[in-house]
Amino acid sequence: MALIPTDVGVNLRTQVDTPLRATSAIPEIPADLPDLRPGQLFSARIQDVLPENTYKALVAGKSITLSLPAGAKAGDTLELVVVDKTPRMVTARLADPGILAEGGEQAYPHATFSPAAQMIGRLLPAQGESAQPALLNKGQPLLATAPAPGENIAEQLAPQLGKAVSQSGLFYEAHQAKWVAGQLPTQSLLAEPQNRLLQANGSDQSPQSATRENPIPTNLPHPPGIEKTVEPSAPGLKDVATSANMQSSPNTQSSTAADNAARTPQPQVVPEELRHLVQQQLDTAATQRMAWHGEVWPQQAMDWEIQRDAPQRYNGEEEAADTCTTRLALTMPKLGRVEATLELRSKGIHVGIKAPAEESAAELQQGLSRLAGALEAAGVAPLSLRVWQSEPGNE
């Protein structure tokens, strides 16, 4: 039996009882890649071949991982151009020999914008700014006069609200497709701002030029950024024209090249009268939300918003994709500022109304039964109807 001296036991206990320190997180080791940017030329010496078209290469004295579309072997020295760069990898391709002879940089060919994208870029507002709202409904009230007491305002206002949206010009291209398919009358398409502008400028580029035999007019405005071509109609005419061009003199060929350059499609601009409307079209397409501000009758302004909702799941069942929420707010002489939210779902509608005062809320509450009856008569099931008073300061 061995005896451990007392001082040794004390030292052992002290070492065992010392609290353990938590280990600190090890910071990520930053990638040590050369300062390369897309389009830049550089030389790389292949050191090792890795799986999936990746290679260990020596670039500017640093060993990096390259992803190359073409095969290479160890020991090769390649002249490359940067396609893309991540914190851990550089994607490159072989450089054009003509660019190498010039000693310049080679722009990545896919880094250019199409004419349509350039036009959209010019239409988008600058960062931090918002597009100016378009004047929908020609800036005029929906109703010429205020409704008389006891008059059924819904019968007058509902179709005018629908008309304000459908003829706003926000959905003009979709309506063009319906018109070509025979699903929309010509007069409805002519009532939208895009065609009103053509008529005001005395242009015949409108759907009126369509005929029953040829429902698509030949003089519709040409889409921007797409070259319009006309194919020869007579048999063999294209071959004759090609042969004539090949046998033409150098001066004729130069003239033809100049004509071709002149016919190159240039990015088109949107008429200034439609600029704000097209900006609002882009915003509506991106956000799936349409905002309308105007007068429902003289001196009675209203804010209206329609938004398409993402499908929701209720009790394990997914709602239909075509659901939306609409909000409107207006300040009435007697009721004050009233805000209503309507959520249209596949099985019915939820309605919520916010009133500014207790008296207004009570009066609106009395009308809920009539609202429920009107919804049922229209074939829409009222899932929930409620009125509440807004908190002071949050009106």
Same domain? 103 vs 123: no
Q: Rounded to whole angstroms, how far apart are CA atoms 69 and 53?
A: 7
Same domain? 129 vs 195: yes
- What local confidence, expressed as pLDDT, does residue 200 receive? 72
Q: Rounded to whole angstroms, how far apart are CA atoms 53 and 67?
A: 6
Identify whether 45 is part of a domain.
Answer: yes
Same domain? 279 vs 195: yes
For residue range 357-385, list pLDDT tens digits in order: 999 999 999 999 999 999 999 999 999 99
- What local confidence, expressed as pLDDT, does residue 384 receive? 95
Same domain? 78 vs 137: no
- What local confidence, expressed as pLDDT, does residue 28 receive? 45
Same domain? 129 vs 188: yes
Identify whether 4 is part of a domain.
Answer: no
Q: What is the mean pLDDT of residues 219-246?
A: 38
- What local confidence, expressed as pLDDT, does residue 352 receive? 96
Q: Rounded to whole angstroms, how far apart are CA atoms 166 and 186?
A: 14
Taking 50 as the threshold, does the pLDDT of residue 356 lie above it? Answer: yes
Count of other CB atoms within 10 angstroms of residue 350:
15
Q: Is 313 helix (H, G, I), strand (E, B) or coil?
A: strand
Same domain? 129 vs 202: yes
Same domain? 179 vs 280: yes
Residues β-bridged to residue 80: 42, 94
Q: Rounded to whole angstroms, how far apart are CA atoms 216 and 179?
A: 9
Helix (H) or strand (E) run with residue 100 in it: helix 97-102
Same domain? 132 vs 191: yes
Same domain? 205 vs 65: no
Question: How confident is residue 331, by pLDDT bands cut at 50, 70 and 90?
Answer: very high
Q: What is the mean pLDDT of residues 227-239?
A: 38
Identify whether 363 is part of a domain.
Answer: yes
Contact 296, 144 (CB under 8 A): no
Same domain? 61 vs 122: no
How many domains does one find in the chain?
3
Identify whether 163 is part of a domain.
Answer: yes
Same domain? 136 vs 273: yes
Identify whether 166 is part of a domain.
Answer: yes
Among 37-41, 83-87, 127-131, 299-303, where is mean pLDDT lowest? 127-131
> Within 13 Å of residue 103, how many CA atoms lie on the same side as its CB?
0
Among 119-123, 200-204, 210-214, 262-266, where is mean pLDDT lowest? 210-214
- The pTM of this model reads 0.54
Q: Which domain holds residue 276?
A: 117-143+152-220+268-287
